[in-house]
Amino acid sequence: MDKPTVLILGAGSTGAAAALHCARRGMDVLCVDRRSLDRAGATWVNNVPAWMFDAADLARPAPPELLGDPSPMHLLAGYGPERIVADDHDCLEVDMRRLAERLRREARRAGARLMGDVEVKEFDGEVLSTSAGDIQAHYYVDASGLGGAGLIDLPRPERTDICAAAQQVHEIIDRDRARRFFADQGVRYGDTLCYSGLDGGYSVVHLRAHGAGRLHILTGSIPARGHRAGPRVLADFIAEHRDWIGPKLYGGSSPIPLGRPADRLASGRVAAVGDAAMQVLSAHGSGVGAGLVAAKMLADSLAAGDGVHGYAVRWQRRYGGLFAAYDIFRRFSADLSTRDVAIMMRAGLLHPHLVSLSLRQVAPVPRRPIAPRARGLLEATHLGASLGKAVAKMARVAVLYRRYPADERRISAWADKVDELVSPGGD
């Protein structure tokens, strides 16, 4: 029977990062994935804040893994003309295939063992039965994605809390037409254009052209609310612009869990990281950076002798409140119409700097007070009142997470308080 110190399920970016950090700290690490290793993890492009690589003690990506530096993002209400431009974020465009490859390569160099095509069969709390044989580890780490592998009881989002996202990289076959398209939208070629609210308040069509003649397209929506799914939105957009958008080079799609982090990130000797733990900034459905940071915090806790619950306490107190707060904003914005978004932009309630803070995945606290503008403020009265309630909840939930219990027996009572606060009638 294989008896590693740490068994990690999932060899995508989060699982590979956990394998790397645990191996760096001298642990005997086995990392397995149900797919072949060359297919493990995401197969598309993601925007990841640069600071998260630093916090995860990982080198920032370089070409060809790095596909684009931060660029101004033009966020439009629907197809415009109302817009704001967020230009003080630090988001890097990263090829997730190459990021996961890098992390797996570095994990092997640090001494970790990685295996693909391994199916999980049964876990009795002590031994994990797999298609590669029985494994008895001291610690088990679930980095297997949405819903987890069933090693511990993890939240499974309602259908109305799942974003159907798709991202593809396409060849640009007519650069002149492509340049005219962006110019017609008032966007400099190479900057980011983001249509919002086309299929419900929580939906985007996110576009960026690159000088190499490639177009990055990201779409997302919540189909359970009666909208087109992200892959359908993407296909429809490409069909409409076949005169300049050419063949697909690579990409993929995935359901993204939206919600606050799991109340229990660990149980017994099992820990969850990444999407399995709901470590996703649901304001825009991004979990890559969070998974990398969580992987390092987990390894630090295990190396320090604090176990998996020590990791849970550290992560929840440091980041849980931030992610829970942004989920409150996501719930507020999910039912906004395109007109609502335009009104908020005109009134200054949706501000470029606050959008940049969200993209950077840091606390939504501006450097200086943001004064609402008289233009559009009257028609935004009802939206301002709803936003005000959401902001008040965001502040209070952040305080609750800083008090995440060190005593596991108190987590249920703590979670009840969070539930009461974030419920629609909670205050």
Residue 242, domain CATH? 3.30.160
Question: Is residue 44 located within the same domain as residue 142?
Answer: yes
| 196 vs 83: CA distance, rounded Å | 10
Spatial distance between the Cα atoms of 93 and 88, rounded to a whole number of angstroms: 15
126 and 55 in a single domain? The answer is yes
Q: Residue 102: how many CB atoms within 10 A of its CB?
A: 20
Q: How many angstroms separate the first and last alpha carbons of the chain?
A: 52
Which pLDDT score is estimated for 427? 59
Torsion angles phi and psi, residue 264, rounded to 5:
-115, 110
pLDDT for 377: 59
Q: What is the mean pLDDT of residues 331-353?
A: 88
pLDDT tops 60 at residue 374: no
pLDDT interval class at 334 (50, 70, 90): confident
Does 379 lie in the same domain as 334? yes
Q: Which domain holds residue 311?
A: 6-65+96-157+262-320
What does the pLDDT average to over 55-63? 98
- C-alpha–C-alpha distance, residues 396 and 169, integer Å: 40
Distance CA 333, CA 296 (A): 32
By C-alpha distance, which of 253, 378, 390, 388 is closest to 334? 390
> What local confidence, expressed as pLDDT, does residue 2 receive?
87
Q: How confident is the model at residue 365 (pLDDT cuts 50, 70, 90)?
A: confident
- Shared-domain flag, residues 189 and 312: no
State whether residue 240 is helix, strand or coil.
Answer: helix
The answer to whether residue 72 is domain-embedded is no
- The token pair at 384 is 């301002």
- Examine the pLDDT at 332 and tell me if it is beyond 70: yes
What mean pLDDT do residues 106-132 have? 96
- Kindly state whether residues 27 and 115 are assigned to the same domain: yes
Is the pLDDT confidence value at 194 over 80?
yes
According to DSSP, residue 260 is labeled S
The answer to whether residues 208 and 336 belong to one domain is no
* pLDDT range class, residue 280, cuts 50, 70, 90: very high
Give the total number of structural domains in the chain. Answer: 3
275 in any annotated domain: yes
User: Looking at per-residue confidence, does 174 or 156 come out higher?
Assistant: 174
Lowest mean pLDDT segment, chosen from 220-224, 376-380, 409-413: 376-380
Residue 174 lies in a domain: yes
User: Is the peptide bond prior to 64 cis by the omega test (within 30 degrees of 0)?
Assistant: yes
Provide the mean pLDDT of the chain: 93
Can you give the pLDDT at residue 372? 58
Q: Does the pLDDT of residue 310 top 80, yes or no?
A: yes
Point out the domain boundary residue: 207, 228, 257.
257
The pLDDT value given to residue 155:
84
Q: What is the DSSP letter of 408?
A: G
**Considering 257, 276, 299, which residue would you say is the last residue of a domain?**
257
Q: Both 14 and 150 in a single domain?
A: yes
135 and 277 in a common domain: yes
Examine the pLDDT at 379 and tell me if it is beyond 90. Answer: no
Residue 77 resides in a domain? no
Q: Please determine, for residue 424, whether its predicted confidence score (pLDDT) is greater than 80.
A: no
pLDDT band at 387 (very low <50, low <70, confident <90, very high): confident
Q: Is the pLDDT assigned to residue 144 strictly greater than 70?
A: yes
Residue 293: name the closest of 11, 16, 17 by CA.
17
Query: Could you say which DSSP state residue 78 is in?
Result: B
139 and 36 fall within a common domain: yes
| 203, 215: one domain | yes
Q: Which residues contact 306 (CB under 8 A, 6 or more apart)?
A: 314
Percent of the chain with pLDDT over 70: 96
pLDDT of residue 370: 58
